[in-house]
């Protein structure tokens, strides 16, 4: 059994615990001193990053709990890549909402990334489960932030789904332990040696699938994320799905089913994003689409495709956040994220517009930007696997990304029809965070070697040249002709106008018929309970009355008290003996 001192040592050395300490410390700073809260929390992020770098690759905090080894901290190439980008995103998110006076938002902006960081650094399944649940609980505060009935209900739905993911994970962990006798978090796989699907693998893949928003399990993202404040949505957009991607990459590399799941993920959000009026929701669909690329890369399971999947996750966190930040700045200044109410903001928010376009070009994977140097690895992997239809799907999805994230977001926010709104440019802190993100998008795009050095399979990245002439030309053809199609559709007025509406998705099933069914079930159970209790209470009271009539002061057996009591006691003892004999 682990001593308290070794447990304390294991906790103190963990970068995730350092962030948790920062979150708790920040939560105790009263609003009167709110101006120093985020700067101090940023110090904790710096200390955590320093500790991650100081530790280097290795396993730390190996403890024995009830005789089972538990590795609380594992820094390997896979977890290090995610840990690095989580630190970058956490710092930028803290800077973005620098002037926040919301203590709950500030707490969750550090506690939730801390949980995600702890999850990717977990060396065993028990540690993963603990951080998995902490991530669910801390993130819901971001959704509840605005404090309305709609955000409360959305938060409850979100929490239910996240806890369901945790329950499935726990059940899977139990089965893995029964199969292997270990809690080690290594490759699990969906099938056993005979090719049959393992219950353990299925449960854990479902748990990861919920968090990474697999098709039909995806709609909690669009339901919950846009309900948070704009600063909260940016924080939410980064961590949960990427923690799941990191977990899938570790547990299910080379699972062919993931290729098809990922293919569906890349395609269907494109169409929902096209008709969506709320630009926050458009970006949420974009998360689904982008994670689809990563899932496909993991599904192929080659060294190059895994590099592509996790490298794309790294760059996606930066450029997707940048797009959320740009839309968030527009919301901050105009009070709306509806495409029908925005437009023409480039006139007074030129810097935000430039940053948004850099984010859009990055997510579209234009040469020179971050998406280009990582997405190509995944598309190449489809070619290497001779998966022609998946390759076509990836190209189709790339055109789709350009449509909803590359064009729709900047076009309807900053150009399109003039909304007449003339807001001020975004505040300096927001501009700084967006500027650093944009600079990273370009820096990684132009000089990807430092990112490549972080990738888990160095042997596979050594001979990859993203700027091979054919790759640049192929990508430019795909994107420029897609932009041309957009221009033509606008000119001939075939591009659909934005319409203020709510678009039904899979959440409809549990928000309308599911809710009705739940209400009916509650009423039915209540009625059955009332009916049963009335019947039973009548029977019970009748029995009491009969016993009382016999043994009470006026009863026949009370005339000789010891005899009457003896008869009652004997009946009770015989009854008990009968029950014990039956049970035995």
Partner 1 sequence: MADHSGDGKQGWADTKAFRFAFLGVLIIAALASAVAGFLPQFQKDHPHFSVEGMGAFFAVYGFAAFSFIVLAGQHLRKLVSRKETYYDERE
Closest contact distance (angstroms) between CB of 289 and partner 1 is: 12
**If you search the block for the tokens 């799905």, which residue do you land on?**
241
Closest contact distance (angstroms) between CB of 509 and partner 1 is: 13
Q: Between 150 and 193, name the residue whose CB sits nearer to partner 1.
A: 150
| Closest-CA residue to 483 (of 412, 402, 393, 401) | 402
d(CA 249, CA 119): 13
DSSP strand pairing (68-75 vs 58-65): antiparallel
Closest contact distance (angstroms) between CB of 471 and partner 1 is: 8
Distance of CA 408 to the CA centre of its chain: 24
Q: Between 423 and 564, name the residue whose CB sits nearer to partner 1.
A: 423
Closest contact distance (angstroms) between CB of 278 and partner 1 is: 9
Closest contact distance (angstroms) between CB of 304 and partner 1 is: 13
Q: Between 415 and 432, name the residue whose CB sits nearer to partner 1.
A: 415
Can you give the C-alpha Rg of the chain in angstroms? 29
Cα torsion at 392, 393, 394, 400 (round to 10°)? 120
Q: Between 502 and 532, name the residue whose CB sits nearer to partner 1.
A: 502
Closest contact distance (angstroms) between CB of 103 and partner 1 is: 24
Q: Between 120 and 382, name the residue whose CB sits nearer to partner 1.
A: 382
Q: Between 57 and 468, name the residue whose CB sits nearer to partner 1.
A: 468
The answer to whether the CB of 172 falls within 8 A of the CB of 135 is no
Closest contact distance (angstroms) between CB of 224 and partner 1 is: 13
Interacting residues with partner 1 (CB under 8 A): 149-150, 153, 270-272, 274-275, 333-335, 344, 346-347, 383-384, 386, 388, 391-392, 395-396, 399-400, 402-403, 415, 418-424, 469-470, 472-489, 494-496, 499-505, 511-512, 515
Upper half-sphere CA count for residue 177 (Cβ side, 13 Å)? 13
Determine if residue 180 is left, alpha or beta; phi over 0 gives left, psi from -120 to 50 gives alpha, anything else beta: alpha
The answer to whether the CB of 343 falls within 8 A of the CB of 279 is no
Q: Between 512 and 527, name the residue whose CB sits nearer to partner 1.
A: 512
Closest contact distance (angstroms) between CB of 271 and partner 1 is: 4
| Residue partners of 582: CB distance under 8 A and separation at least 6 | none
| Residue partners of 233: CB distance under 8 A and separation at least 6 | 142, 225, 226, 280, 324, 328
Closest contact distance (angstroms) between CB of 243 and partner 1 is: 28
Closest contact distance (angstroms) between CB of 424 and partner 1 is: 6
| Residue partners of 525: CB distance under 8 A and separation at least 6 | none
Q: Between 274 and 547, name the residue whose CB sits nearer to partner 1.
A: 274
Q: Between 186 and 384, name the residue whose CB sits nearer to partner 1.
A: 384
Residue 262 burial (C-beta neighbours within 10 Å; 0-12, 13-18, 19+): buried
State the CB neighbour count (10 A cutoff) for residue 315.
27
d(CA 322, CA 67): 46
Q: Between 344 and 555, name the residue whose CB sits nearer to partner 1.
A: 344
Burial 263-295 (b: 16+ CB within 10 A, else e): bbbbbbbbebbeebbbbbbbbbbbbbbbbbbbb
> What sign results for the dihedral spanned by CA atoms 530, 532, 533, 538?
positive
């Amino acid at each position: 059994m682990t001593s308290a001192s070794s447990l304390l040592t294991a906790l103190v050395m963990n970068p995730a615990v350092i962030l948790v300490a920062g979150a708790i410390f920040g939560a105790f700073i009263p609003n009167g001193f709110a101006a120093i809260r985020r700067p101090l929390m940023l110090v904790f992020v710096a200390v955590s990053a320093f500790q991650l770098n100081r530790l280097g690759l290795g396993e730390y905090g190996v403890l024995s709990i009830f005789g089972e080894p538990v590795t609380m901290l594992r820094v390997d190439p896979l977890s290090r890549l995610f840990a690095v980008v989580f630190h970058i995103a956490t710092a930028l998110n803290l800077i973005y909402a620098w002037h926040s006076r919301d203590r709950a938002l500030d707490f969750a902006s550090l506690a939730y990334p801390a949980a995600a960081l702890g999850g990717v650094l977990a060396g065993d399944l028990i540690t993963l489960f603990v951080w998995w649940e902490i991530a669910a609980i801390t993130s819901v505060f971001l959704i509840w932030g605005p404090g309305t009935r709609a955000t409360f209900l959305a938060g409850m739905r979100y929490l239910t789904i996240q806890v369901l993911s945790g329950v499935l994970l726990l059940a899977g962990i139990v089965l893995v332990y029964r199969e292997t006798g270990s809690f080690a978090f290594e490759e699990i796989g969906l099938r056993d040696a005979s090719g049959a699907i393992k219950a353990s693998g299925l449960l854990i893949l479902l748990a990861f699938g919920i968090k990474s928003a697999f098709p039909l399990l995806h709609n909690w993202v669009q339901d919950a994320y846009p309900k948070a404040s704009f600063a909260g949505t940016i924080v939410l957009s980064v961590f949960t799905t990427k923690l799941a991607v990191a977990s899938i990459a570790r547990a299910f590399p080379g699972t062919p089913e993931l290729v098809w799941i990922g293919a569906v993920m890349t395609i269907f959000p494109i169409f929902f994003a096209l008709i969506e009026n709320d630009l926050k929701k458009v970006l949420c669909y974009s998360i689904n689409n982008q994670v689809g690329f990563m899932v496909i890369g993991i599904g192929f399971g080659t060294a190059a495709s895994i590099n592509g999947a996790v490298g794309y996750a790294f760059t996606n966190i930066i450029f997707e956040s940048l797009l959320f930040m740009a839309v968030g700045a527009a919301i901050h200044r105009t009070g709306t994220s509806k495409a029908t109410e925005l437009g023409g903001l480039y006139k007074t928010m030129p810097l935000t517009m430039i940053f948004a376009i850099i984010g859009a070009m990055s997510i579209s994977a234009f040469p020179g930007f971050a998406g280009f140097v990582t997405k190509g690895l995944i598309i190449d992997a489809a070619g290497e696997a001779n998966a022609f239809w998946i390759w076509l799907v990836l190209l189709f999805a790339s055109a789709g990304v350009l449509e909803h994230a590359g064009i729709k977001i900047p076009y309807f926010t900053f150009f399109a029809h003039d909304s007449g709104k003339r807001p001020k440019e975004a505040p300096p802190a927001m501009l700084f965070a967006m500027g650093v993100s944009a600079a990273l998008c370009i820096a990684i795009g132009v000089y990807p070697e430092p990112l490549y050095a972080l990738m888990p399979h160095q042997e596979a990245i050594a001979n990859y040249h993203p700027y091979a002439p054919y790759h640049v030309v192929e990508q430019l053809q795909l994107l420029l002709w897609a932009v041309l199609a957009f221009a033509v559709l606008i000119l001939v007025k075939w591009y659909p106008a934005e319409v203020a509406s709510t678009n039904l998705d899979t959440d409809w099933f549990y928000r309308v018929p599911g809710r009705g069914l739940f209400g009916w079930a509650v009423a039915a159970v209540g009625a059955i309970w009332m009916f049963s209790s009335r019947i039973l209470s009548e029977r019970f009271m009748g029995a009491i009355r009969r016993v009382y009539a016999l043994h009470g002061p006026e009863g026949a057996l009370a005339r000789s008290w010891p005899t009457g009591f003896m008869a009652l006691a004997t009946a009770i003892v015989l009854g008990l003996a009968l029950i014990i004999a039956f049970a035995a």
